[in-house]
Structure 1
């Protein structure tokens, strides 16, 4: 499995994503804002364009992964381990 190139987080960038299962990572100013996973990445990313927080992301990349829930969980764990237990800014409760 490998990550895509970084794409602009806009309608044109989202249209480049396959309608496939996978995970995605979004950032603005080089700070991770959201880590997501879905059975249909294009649909989920399109919905996030209007999210009050995640919609502020500037770029994203994705990875096709049939086991997207497990992969997302591992990405979140890795992120928390590197950031003193904190989650990405748009995922904090």
Structure 2
């Protein structure tokens, strides 16, 4: 998968890569018969280089499977093109 890059203004007011990605991966959606979602249990982004998170699947508000999310992070506050932040996720591992 490719890089998704954006200016600071597109980060929705999140001050750090970690805060932005935590928000992106946390959600709840209504589906037929209830809700589905994902919550971040713990995360870190050392030196704004790689984002690591433990995520849990939610079904009707009840926690289920827990898995890891890893994203490469591009942090360029002085970018001449205005693309200050970017991330690239990897393909999921299949069992």
Higher-helix-fraction structure: 1
Same fold by TM-score greater than 0.5:
no
Q: Which has the higher strand share?
A: 2
Larger radius of gyration between Structure 1 and Structure 2: 2
Higher relative contact order (CA 8 A, sep 6+): 1
TM-score normalised per structure 2: 0.30
Query: Structure 1 length as normaliser, TM-score?
Result: 0.30
